[in-house]
Amino acid sequence: MSTLSATSTLSETAAENTQASPNSATEPTANQSTRTNSHVEAPTAEEGAIAEGTPSSEPITLDIEQIHQLLPHRYPFALVDRIIEYVPGEKAVGIKNVTFNEPHFQGHFPDRPLMPGVLIVEAMDKKGGIVMNQMQEEGDDRLFVFGGIDKVRFRRPVVPGDQLVMTVELMWVKRKRIGKMQGKATVDGKLVCQGELMFSLVD
């Protein structure tokens, strides 16, 4: 089970320039928008993120160094190389480049390497962590962990050389302690995995 850091957030500029979606609710049945608290300096436009004065239609992106400021996971459980789209309080889209030198391929399987399904779900979890962590108050260093995994289905195998593109979207959040997200992973535009991920805040 992975843990998600709640110690870092994006900047005021990125949060103000990005409009939260009505799908980001404080109750499962509510229809409210959520704004994130922002305390970490946002990357510049040259680094691929929104800078001050940039239109809000431009997506927020995060490189690996910025991801490491937001998540505690490291090799071999980082499972994310870049966030290519981030909408505060709503969704995150990230990529994972699958390579043969990853340790699980030594035994899964030696003659036909396949990425384990549990690691595909774990990789989707990292994008959900980006969204959930940014909803924490400043100074709150508690961790989000998996609270449940529902309706997960695997559609196609994932092999070395593939690039996983994973999208997670917030379905609802309750008292900023429990949240549920819809996740999907694709390779070359074809669905390989989908499911609902539950997150729970632990003290």
pLDDT of residue 38: 39
Which has the higher per-residue pLDDT, 34 or 103?
Answer: 103
Q: What are the beta bridge partners of residue 83?
A: 62, 94
Contact 166, 95 (CB under 8 A): yes
Contact 25, 34 (CB under 8 A): yes
- In sequence order, which ranges of the chain are alpha helices (DSSP H)? 12-17, 64-70, 117-133
How does DSSP assign 83-122, residue by residue?
EEEEETTTEEEEEEE--TTSGGGGTS-SSS----HHHHHH
- Per-residue pLDDT at 29 exceeds 50: no
What does residue 144 show for φ and ψ, rounded to 5 degrees?
-95, 135
The full set of domains in the chain, from first to last, is: 3-202 (3.10.129.10)
Residue 185, judged by CB atoms within 10 A of its CB (0-12, 13-18, 19+), counts as buried
68 catalytically annotated = no
Q: 158: pLDDT confidence band, cut at 50, 70 and 90?
A: very high
pLDDT of residue 127: 85
Question: Which candidate in 39, 68, 104, 108 is catalytic?
Answer: 108
| pTM score, whole prediction | 0.68
How many Å is the Cα radius of gyration of the chain?
Answer: 16
State whether residue 98 is helix, strand or coil: coil
pLDDT of residue 62: 93
- Per-residue pLDDT at 56 exceeds 60: no
